[in-house]
Amino acid sequence: MPLKPFIDAAPFARAADRREHHREALAVTEGIEAAEPWLLAVAMMRAGDKLASYQALGRALARLTDRPWRLLVVGDGPARGEIEAAFHAVAPRVHWLGEVDEEAMPGICAATDLFFWPAVNEAYGMVFLEAQAAAVPVVAGRFGGVPDVVADGITGVLVEPGNDVAFADAIAAMLDEPDRRRTMSRHACDHVLSGHDIGTAARVLDATIQSLEPAVPR
């Protein structure tokens, strides 16, 4: 059995069980209407592929101003000015959380409704697993190893790289179908717990080591 990308899913799964608590707390601290769909993006703010992904997000969201939503952005870095400029058209709807402590991430993830990231030239992106472990479905670009951690049509939606219209349409469809989001959220958490949790990885490693040990003669 191959060793898949893995995380410690337990803190995120626990946060998912207290979703309303985390959502209410964040609604107060950020002044966000809890009844609106919350979108989440998490990434460092640097030039190159990260900047390109943020710019793609900005272009996609500019197409969706006819729908209610709020975007929470976790991350910081030297390209923040350029990234903020990429969201100029939807600036009042964007909440910049900056760099947050690792311990805060499960609650932030669990409080949201949809994680999305264009994933320009992404390898795996552990944040995809973190979001899904917190029962948050994903919309992402079909780059690199992303299909290995996001089950297209089950735990999220993958779109062809570089297609801003398709990316915006995928987000719109998820915003318009809350029942679909709820179904995917359940599958997302199960997907990570069953196949990408640190406990599963430990069992795979143990089985591999056991298979490599030479037989002891009797």
pLDDT single digits (tens) 87-134: 999 999 999 999 999 999 999 999 999 999 999 998 878 999 999 999
pLDDT, residue 122, reads: 86
pTM of the model: 0.90
Rounded Cα gap, residues 5 and 201, in angstroms: 8
Q: Report the DSSP beta bridge partners of residue 165.
A: none
Q: Which residues of the chain register pLDDT less than 70? A: 1-3, 6, 199-211, 213-218
pLDDT, residue 201, reads: 47
The domain locations on the chain are: 10-212
pLDDT, residue 142, reads: 95
Question: What's the CATH superfamily of 10-212?
Answer: Glycogen Phosphorylase B; (3.40.50.2000)
Token pair of 51, please?
């900047």
Beta carbons within 10 angstroms of residue 102's beta carbon: 7
Contact 65, 37 (CB under 8 A): no
pLDDT, residue 125, reads: 81
Task: For the chain, give percent helix, strand, coil, nearest 5.
Answer: 55, 15, 35
Rounded Cα gap, residues 123 and 146, in angstroms: 7
Rounded Cα gap, residues 138 and 109, in angstroms: 11
Residue-wise pLDDT for 10-22, tens only, equals 999 999 999 999 9
pLDDT, residue 197, reads: 81
Token pair of 30, please?
């950020």
